[in-house]
Structure 1
Amino acid sequence: MQPILAKQQVVDDTHREIDDFYPDDDGKPMSENTLQFEWITLIKQGLELAFEDRPDVFVAGDLLWYPVEGDNKIRQAPDVMVAIGRSKGYRGSYKQFLEDGIATQVVFEILSPGNRLGEMIKKYDFYEEYGVLEYYVYDPHKHTLEAYSRPSVEDYWIDTIVQGFTEWNSDILGLKMSWIDQEFKIYQADGTPFLSYQELNDQRRLVENSLKDAKKAEKEAKLKAQKLAEKLRSLGIDPDSV
């Protein structure tokens, strides 16, 4: 048993050294205001639901991505990221060199008033250089969506500003984005809109109330049937023969 324990200790020490070299925290806040946070969580949770049956789709929010082995300064923490071809599960950070070299293919960034142009240019350059195929920048304050897409990493991004009633389809995710009554919406492949926790909770309550109403109506119908059967019996009529 001793050699096995010693080997396990070496593995644990190696993982610890890797984690120490590639920190899980960059010291930056996930969001600067409640509106930005709500959109980050809405998109992350919506994507997780959209791909809940796909064990090979990894979705994360505010997770540091290290694309280059041996360089812990080259990193970025997308508001929401999707890596297709990678398993679900816990990660302290996304170390691409430990993920079969698979880059994050889709990134969402949610703007806040504190975002600066220089910061966003750096993010644009990072995502373009390290393999992102679809990049979305949504501004919930100005109601604009910048969409960047390309068929492969060798191609240049095609950029589009989507707003108003324009629709946008994600070829990679199979999702649709559009505006309804001047409100930005994202839809799953079956047309179901991404819903916030509150909206999901409201739907759950509606279903629960409907079930309660149905059970109540069923109980009342049984009581009514029992009373009718008793009435028939009092008249000398067998209710089972009617």
Structure 2
Amino acid sequence: MVSQSPPQSHQIYPDSDGKPMADNTEQFRWIVTIQQNLDWLFAEDPNVFVAGDLLWYPVEGHREICTAPDTLVVLGRPKGKRGSYKQWEEAGIAPQVVFEILSPSNTLTEMNKKQVFYDRYNVEEYYLYDPDKNDLSGWLRVDRNFDVIDPIDQWVSPRLGIRFSLNETLQIYRPDGRLFLSYIEIAQQVEQERQRAEQERQRAEQESLRAEQERQRAEQERQRADRLAEQLRRMGINPEE
């Protein structure tokens, strides 16, 4: 029996490759931190799409040609829900920037294949971080091909404007100089801001209360002075003379 591939228009493109998003907590933390901070960075721009662990199909009719970057950024495409990124449905625009976070289970062959894939399908910037070794590598498209970014410490992404700094661990800075934060750090900052706002509200209430007390005291003093003046007038004494 001869089987035929279904027509391109009827092909099914799976939304999952059956692989876990991360192999360990450290890899997961970095994936979420980068994806969420980039999403936050471009939150006000409706035409920047940021996703994590999303299957990318660059060629229509070839569902076997796909990969799922840990984080991808597509400038020029609207935000919104997607089961996968089918490039032919996205005005033919390939993700310009991709990130991969290395885990112990990743093989050299696997990562080499990813690099070839990103080079072949026109990714402009590719960053690979190994949190266990605190090692960051990067490639930039130059003259149609990937070129190694060296040195990468203090490198500023041409597309995203973010800066990479390698100290005891990788630090990523927004264009305004603020550091990429984890979810916990963001939640802590929000809580600190809430506490500061509550303290400021209480201080303002106390100032308002003191001002009201001072107004009441001044009013009492005025009334006492008026009563005294009235008593003096009754005694035939003009207090204004």
Q: Same fold (TM over 0.5)?
A: yes
- The residue number in structure 2 matching 1:172 is 159
Q: Secondary structure at the match of 1:157?
A: strand
Q: Where in structure 1 are there 5+ consecutive unaligned residues?
A: 1-13
Residues 234 and 84 of structure 1, relative CA distance in 2, 3 Å threshold? closer
Task: Tell me if structure 2 keeps the 8 A contact 1:146–1:162.
Answer: no
**What aligned pairs does 1:58-137 form with structure 2 within 5 A after superposition?**
58-137=49-128
Q: Which runs of 5+ in 2 are unaligned?
A: 1-6, 225-241
Name the amino acid aligned to 1:84. Answer: L
Residue 30 of structure 1, CA deviation: 0.5
* Shift in Å, 1:38: 0.7
Letter in 1 for 2:57: Y
Partner of 2:181: 195
1:228 Cα offset (Å): 2.8
Matches of 1:216 and 1:76, distance apart in 2 = 53
Alignment TM-score, normalising by the size of structure 2? 0.84
1:129-168 aligned at under 5 Å gives the runs 129-151=120-142, 154-160=143-149, 166-168=153-155
Choose 211-220 or 70-79, whichever is displaced more.
211-220
Normalising by the residue count of structure 1, what TM-score does the alignment of the two structures yield?
A: 0.84
Q: CA deviation at 1:177?
A: 1.2
For each residue in 1:191-227, what CA deviation from the matched residue of structure 2 results, as whole angstroms up to 9, or x when unmatched?
Answer: 1221111111111111111111111112222222233
Q: Distance in 2 between matches of 1:194 and 1:210?
A: 22
* Matching residue's letter, 2:85: Y
Separation in structure 2 between the aligned mates of residue 43 and residue 73 of structure 1, nearest angstrom: 27
Q: Please name the residue that 1:6 is paired with.
A: none
Structure with larger Rg? 2
Q: Distance in 1 between matches of 2:114 and 2:172?
A: 23
Identity %: 44
1:22 to 2:8 alignment: no
- Cα separation, 2, equivalents of 1:98 and 1:62: 19
CA shift digits 1:140-167 (9 cap, x unpaired): 111110010024xx5222213657xx21
May I ask how many residue pairs the two structures share in their alignment? 218
Q: Hey, what does 2:202 align to over in structure 1?
A: 216
Are 2:36 and 1:45 aligned?
A: yes
Secondary structure of 2:156's counterpart equals strand
Q: CA deviation at 1:232?
A: 3.3
* Contact 1:144-1:162 within 8 A present in 2 as well: no
Which residue of structure 2 lines up, in the alignment, with residue 182 of structure 1?
168
Tell whether the 8 Å contact from 2:156 to 2:162 is kept in structure 1 after alignment. Answer: yes
Q: Secondary structure at the match of 2:149?
A: strand
